Amino acid sequence: WDDADFSQGVGTTWYQEYSTLSSTQDPLVRDVEAKIEKYLKVPYAAKWTLKVTWEKAPAYLSQQDDTQTSTYQAVLTTDGNRSYALLLYQDGGMRWDYAKLAATNVLIGFS
């Protein structure tokens, strides 16, 4: 949607790396593997997984309005050959007001 702006001390970002070296895996890793297998219809066993969380993140420029915050996560995972990124949003979705964006020709995706 936009860049997050933590310059006003509102919101938090943190990350957690999940070990997949032992036979017992964290429930999050098992959930990620299950989602990839369910939606992409491919077998998947993670060798590395990273979860990044942005909590109550205001949109850039937060000096204008830091009341509409959003909580979301990115989960990056790889099996050594294929890599995936899962984008997870708090129930209710993004709460940033897209009408306040400087650009009106916003595209969603990657290049």
Query: DSSP secondary-structure letter at 91?
Result: T
pLDDT of residue 2: 60
Contacts for 82 with CB less than 8 Å, ≥ 6 apart? 42, 44
Give the count of domains, the chain: 1
Q: How confident is the model at residue 34 (pLDDT cuts 50, 70, 90)?
A: very high
Residues 71, 12: contact at Cβ < 8 Å? no
Strand order through the sheet with 69-78: 12-18, 48-58, 69-78, 83-89
Structural domain including 69 reads 12-100
Report whether pLDDT(1) > 50: no
Kindly state whether residue 107 falls inside one of the protein's structural domains: no
| Higher pLDDT among residues 67 and 31, named by residue | 31
Contacts for 31 with CB less than 8 Å, ≥ 6 apart? none
Which of 57-61, 62-66, 86-90 is the least confident region? 62-66
In angstroms, rounded to a whole number, what is the distance separating the alpha carbons of residues 82 and 66?
Answer: 38
In angstroms, rounded to a whole number, what is the distance separating the alpha carbons of residues 44 and 92?
Answer: 29
Token pair recorded at residue 48: 């590395």
Kindly state whether residue 44 falls inside one of the protein's structural domains: yes
Kindly state whether residue 106 falls inside one of the protein's structural domains: no
Kindly state whether residue 90 falls inside one of the protein's structural domains: yes
pLDDT of residue 111: 44
The reported pTM is 0.74
Kindly state whether residue 111 falls inside one of the protein's structural domains: no
Q: Rounded mean pLDDT of 22-39?
A: 88
Residues 79, 46: contact at Cβ < 8 Å? yes
Kindly state whether residue 30 falls inside one of the protein's structural domains: yes
